[in-house]
Amino acid sequence: MPILKYRKHILVLIHCLLSVCSIYANIDNIPNDIDSIAMSYTMTDVVIQSFKQNDDLSAQPLSATEISGQQIKDRNITSMKDISAFVPNLFLPDYGSKMTSPVYIRGIGSRTNTPSIGLYVDGVPYFDRSAFDFNMNDVDRIEVLRGPQGTLYGRNTMGGIINVYSKSPFKYKETNINLSAASYDNYEVGASHYGNIKDKFGYSVSGNYMTSGGYFKNITTGKRADPMDAVASRLRLNYKFSPQLRVNLTSAYEYSDQDGYPYALYNKDKNRIDKIDYNAPSFYRRNMSTTGLGVQYLTNNFKLSSQSSFQYFDGKQGLDQDFSPKDTYYVNYLERQQMYSQEFNIKSVGRKRYEWQFGIFGFHQSYYYQSDVETRDPNIAMKTYKYKIQDVKNPSMGAAAYHQSTVNDVFLHGLALSLGVRYDWEKTKASTIAREIKTDGVENINRPKGNDHFSQFTPKFSLQYTFAGNKIVYASATRGYKSGGFNPSAQQSEDFSYKPEHSWSYEVGAKAGCLNNLIYTDISLFYINWDDQQISQTQPDGKGYILRNAGKSESKGAEITMHVNPLNNLSLHINYGFTDAKFKRYEKDASTNYKGKYLPMVPKHTLSLSGDYSLYFKESNLLDKITFNAQYKGLGRLYWKEDNDASQSFYGLLDGRISFVRKQVSLDFWMKNITNQKYISYYFVTSKAYAQEGKPLACGVNLNVTF
């Protein structure tokens, strides 16, 4: 496709970049030495380089946040949901089960079906929403890249991507034992070992077990509604065949068993959640196995990489869907996935006048689910039973080719131009066997079959100017794309399929350190315009969800990250995001128009304020140091539905932690939601409105021993 078609986007970039440069150049005379700050916050000491991006994200023309292993420990991050609001404009609501994990960045996300945010763990893509809530044990760092990342990462990364990296045995050589006890009968035990032989063969193994007694009581059963048990393990083998050739094998397994959902009826007029009050036992159990094999061959001129991946999971859900003491609706749900992927990437190494990379990617995903909805009539003494059973197969496969070029010092010294392009092709099928079993017999239900394919060309343009002292300003324009698909359980034929979703995202930003590393800032402004928006809507009978291309929307906002180090033992962190995301067109029916309404599940403000202070004891035989950590996280206002009829106002959560460290032993005391803030963590509507409260005040103690 001719590049002239996108000339208006390139002209917009040039105009934005020149505008930012004219303002930003005024601080060029401030003393700078950003190297140590970049080391602290971008983890440039990582042994194994990222598969596609350069390690130092602070030098890249994109908005990104990195969370180090130390920050994961200090903030007591135990799941992906805990990083919500810690990253500007990132929201991961607590659904109450590992079955699904909605993720939203800058207003883009998906409540059901395929996520709009990509997730990679050690280079392995996680395609399905049921795999996003994984065990965080053994994680070394997390990267969150905001904005479309389709050029390099491809499939369904329209809102951004989250990269998670486990600990490398070439970076760590130790044994860890972790014990934790907390309120609400929460206990956890974990162990890990990292080692290497002559810096040639590295190995690590880790495992942990956790149990939770649950936070909320079901008044019907008299028991907690949400207890959970989970076990997880991870194996990593790295081998350096030569200075040029490395092979990395990672394998992870986890099993979780959750005994319920803490949902209750929501009273909008009183803004109150009723007591949890249902009788039938509910649960979600999941097995998940993920394996990745990475090969890297490095020369003085290029790096050739291969990533092979396989992921399997099966989950089983039992749900009292009427959430009442009546035996009205009960759902049994089984899902199973097998996903294979292969990617090859070759890119130039080192900083050169011309930098490049090429890649090809392919995947095959088998996806099957069975839904069994049991309906009873509680008004009849001899209760009537009806089962709707659906067996659905929804396999997909795809291939892609991509390229990105960067020309440094183009036109003038310090100016870099990057052009990227990707072509995706995907094929998907859907078939359903449905039947209805009643007291008087069995009725087969005809469901349509689908077979469709999608293809898309997605370009990206960026301009970056680097000032003295490694201060940068940048501007980018990126085409976003999310593939179409099927609603195999649709009750109406016109809802059986939906089209792809497209967007254009524009961003300008600046990154700099100043005053001899006292302050480091990262600021960005963005505007997103997208068409054929895939919106989750309830089925006509109010039970279940489908996707429809119902909207045209825009999202605009700003993000700022600031790190301040006034003292060697004191650091302060500010992360703030503002998103104004509204429908430009959304006519649900002839009488309902949501134009101008805010997009659901998108907080207008996300805020994180945190501080770390260490008190050292040089001559003490009892303690080496005491570290104090405090964090305030806030978000809102948040609308739950397209009509903006129900919402959660801005709220904040205060967390704290005190760590006592002596050599290789640390004892940590922590508290979450110290003020016991009341808020709604998730809301949905079927035939009625239901909601889940946020987790209350909790406290605990962790013991960590390293040797």
The domain locations on the chain are 3-706
pLDDT of residue 249: 95
Q: Running DSSP on this structure, what letter comes out for residue 172?
A: -
Among 248-257, 420-429, 614-623, which stretch is predicted with the lowest mean pLDDT? 614-623
157-183, pLDDT tens digit by residue? 888 999 999 999 999 899 999 999 999
Among 215-219, 545-549, 622-626, which stretch is predicted with the lowest mean pLDDT? 545-549
pLDDT tier, 356 (very low <50, low <70, confident <90, very high otherwise): very high
Cα–Cα distance measured from residue 151 to residue 404, given in angstroms and rounded to the nearest whole number: 8
Element holding 70 (H helix, E strand): helix 69-74
What value does the mean pLDDT take over residues 410-435? 91
Cα–Cα distance measured from residue 435 to residue 439, given in angstroms and rounded to the nearest whole number: 13
Could you tell me how far CA 139 lies from the centroid of its own chain?
A: 15
Closest residue by Cα to residue 314 from 281, 285, 283 = 285
pLDDT of residue 363: 95
Element holding 21 (H helix, E strand): helix 7-24
507-534, pLDDT tens digit by residue? 999 998 887 768 889 999 999 999 988 8
Element holding 551 (H helix, E strand): strand 545-567
pLDDT tier, 49 (very low <50, low <70, confident <90, very high otherwise): very low
pLDDT tier, 54 (very low <50, low <70, confident <90, very high otherwise): low
What value does the mean pLDDT take over residues 45-63? 64
Burial of 312 (0-12, 13-18, 19+ CB in 10 A): middle
Element holding 403 (H helix, E strand): strand 396-408
Higher pLDDT, 509 or 586: 509
Burial of 223 (0-12, 13-18, 19+ CB in 10 A): middle
Given the candidates 2.40.170.20, 3.40.50.150, 2.60.15.10, 1.10.3470.10, the CATH classification of the domain at 3-706 is 2.40.170.20
Burial of 172 (0-12, 13-18, 19+ CB in 10 A): buried
pLDDT tier, 46 (very low <50, low <70, confident <90, very high otherwise): very low
pLDDT of residue 622: 87
pLDDT of residue 127: 86
pLDDT of residue 217: 94
What value does the mean pLDDT take over residues 183-200? 94
Cα–Cα distance measured from residue 552 to residue 597, given in angstroms and rounded to the nearest whole number: 12
- Write b or e for each residue in 635-665: b if 16 or more Cβ atoms lie within 10 A of its Cβ, otherwise e: bbebbbbbebebbbeebbbbbbbebebeeee
Query: For the residues of 504-539, what is the DSSP string, one character each?
Result: EEEEEEEEEEETTTTEEEEEEEEEEEEEEEEEEEE-
pLDDT of residue 39: 31
Higher pLDDT, 268 or 631: 631
pLDDT of residue 50: 57
Give the CA count within 13 Å in the CB-facing half-sphere of 121. Answer: 25
Cα–Cα distance measured from residue 418 to residue 239, given in angstroms and rounded to the nearest whole number: 34
* Residue 367 backbone class (left: φ over 0; alpha: ψ -120 to 50; beta: rest): beta
pLDDT of residue 53: 64
pLDDT of 585 > 80? The answer is yes
141-150, pLDDT tens digit by residue? 999 999 888 7
Cα–Cα distance measured from residue 79 to residue 136, given in angstroms and rounded to the nearest whole number: 6
pTM (two decimals): 0.88
378-400, pLDDT tens digit by residue? 665 555 566 678 889 999 999 99
Higher pLDDT, 368 or 493: 368
pLDDT of 16 > 50? The answer is no
Arithmetic mean of pLDDT over the chain: 86
What value does the mean pLDDT take over residues 197-220? 94
pLDDT of 14 > 60? The answer is no
CB 707 within 8 A of CB 664: yes
Higher pLDDT, 235 or 54: 235
Tokens at residue 496, please?
A: 């059986």
What value does the mean pLDDT take over residues 353-377? 90
Cα–Cα distance measured from residue 653 to residue 671, given in angstroms and rounded to the nearest whole number: 11
pLDDT of residue 268: 83
pLDDT tier, 84 (very low <50, low <70, confident <90, very high otherwise): confident
By three-state DSSP, how is residue 268 classified?
coil
pLDDT tier, 351 (very low <50, low <70, confident <90, very high otherwise): confident
pLDDT of 468 > 50? The answer is yes
Query: For the residues of 199-245, what is the DSSP string, one character each?
Result: TTEEEEEEEEEEEE--S-EETTTTEES--EEEEEEEEEEEEESSSSE
Cα–Cα distance measured from residue 126 to residue 117, given in angstroms and rounded to the nearest whole number: 10
Query: For the residues of 87-103, what is the DSSP string, one character each?
Result: BTTEE----SSTT----
Element holding 36 (H helix, E strand): helix 35-42
558-575, pLDDT tens digit by residue? 999 999 988 888 999 999
Which residues make Cβ contacts (< 8 Å) with residue 66, sequence separation at least 6?
A: 41, 42, 43, 57, 141, 142, 143, 144
- Percent of the chain predicted with pLDDT > 90: 56
629-684, pLDDT tens digit by residue? 999 999 989 999 888 999 999 999 999 999 999 999 999 999 999 999 999 999 98
Going through 568-590 in order, the beta strands assigned E by DSSP cover 570-585, 587-589
Closest residue by Cα to residue 104 from 560, 685, 506, 635 = 635
pLDDT of residue 260: 81
pLDDT of 278 > 50? The answer is yes
pLDDT of residue 383: 56
Burial of 209 (0-12, 13-18, 19+ CB in 10 A): middle
